């Protein structure tokens, strides 16, 4: 019994080592309630990239809304659209009614991914009705053979607006600049957990009863 008691005491000492890697892994998987539109130049074109996630479960749709064209940027009404245009549920938002420049780009040369649309002047945000809350939102609109300056943006980098979905803390933001590289999970938490389990196995071997 003394050998088993000794093993239990040693396990208590290294259990925090297991908890730290586990906490890190959970933190890496946390979803953020934020939808970001990055508008940037790429390969001689202007691209709008929508990415992030939103939780709409507590919100009530105000009806059906649509962009009109498939893909658009209109600064005078703070409007951005990605994906193929259609009629989808919209939700009310609060934020700027216009943003940087004199941009009136529509329709896009090409679009892809999920349909999203927001218009700050009428306080509406619409998204494909098939969207499930807290899952990734990925959509784009590409305008061929142009630049941010040619579109009418007066600056070419930085945050140009943030909107909040009414009745929630969910936010939408527009940034001039390319999205950051996709994060790659670090192998260190896994190595730490593996090392701790290896230590546990060695302790068990040393303290086994005859």
Condensed to tens digits (0 to 9), the pLDDT of residues 71-90 reads 999 999 999 999 999 999 99
How confident is the model at residue 100, as a pLDDT?
87
pLDDT band at 203 (very low <50, low <70, confident <90, very high): very low
Please tell me the total number of residues recorded for the chain in this structure: 210
Mean model confidence pLDDT for the chain: 82
Structure confidence at residue 44 (pLDDT): 96
What's the confidence (pLDDT) of residue 4?
Answer: 45
Q: How confident is the model at residue 43 (pLDDT cuts 50, 70, 90)?
A: very high
pLDDT of residue 181: 84
Share of the chain above pLDDT 70, in %: 71
Q: Looking at residue 20, what is its pLDDT?
A: 43
Do the strands 124-127 and 104-105 form a parallel or antiparallel pair, or are they unpaired? unpaired
Average pLDDT estimate for 55-77 = 95
Helix, strand, or coil (residue 178): coil
Res. 12: pLDDT tops 70: no
Is the pLDDT at 187 greater than 80, yes or no?
A: no
pLDDT score at 155: 87
CA distances from 185 to 27, 96, 205 (A): 11, 35, 33
Phi, psi (rounded to 5 degrees) for 140: -150, 165
Average pLDDT over residues 127-140: 96
pLDDT at 28 over 50: no
Contact 177, 40 (CB under 8 A): yes
User: Which ranges of 103-186 would DSSP assign to H, the alpha helix?
Assistant: 148-151
Contact between 73 and 39 under an 8 Å Cβ cutoff? The reply is: yes
Of the two residues 199 and 37, the one the predictor is more confident about is 37
Distance CA 67, CA 48 (A): 15
């Amino acid at each position: 019994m003394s050998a088993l008691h000794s093993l239990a005491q040693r396990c208590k000492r290294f259990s925090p080592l297991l908890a730290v890697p586990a906490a890190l892994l959970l933190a890496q998987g946390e979803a953020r309630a934020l939808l970001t539109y990055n508008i940037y130049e790429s390969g001689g074109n202007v691209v709008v990239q929508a990415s992030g996630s939103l939780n709409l479960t507590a919100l009530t749709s105000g009806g059906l809304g649509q962009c009109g064209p498939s893909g658009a940027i209109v600064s005078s009404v703070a409007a951005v659209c990605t994906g193929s245009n259609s009629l989808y549920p919209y939700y009310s938002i609060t934020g700027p009614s216009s943003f940087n420049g004199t941009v009136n780009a529509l329709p896009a040369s090409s679009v892809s991914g999920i349909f999203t649309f927001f218009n700050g002047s009428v306080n509406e945000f619409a998204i494909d009705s098939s969207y499930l809350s807290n899952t990734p939102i990925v959509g784009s609109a590409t305008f061929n053979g142009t630049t941010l300056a040619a579109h009418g943006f007066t600056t070419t980098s930085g945050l140009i607006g943030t909107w909040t979905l009414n009745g929630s803390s969910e936010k939408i933001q527009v940034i001039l600049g390319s999205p950051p590289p996709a994060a790659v999970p670090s192998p260190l938490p896994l190595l730490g957990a593996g090392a701790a389990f290896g230590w546990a196995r060695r302790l068990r071997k040393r303290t086994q009863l005859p």
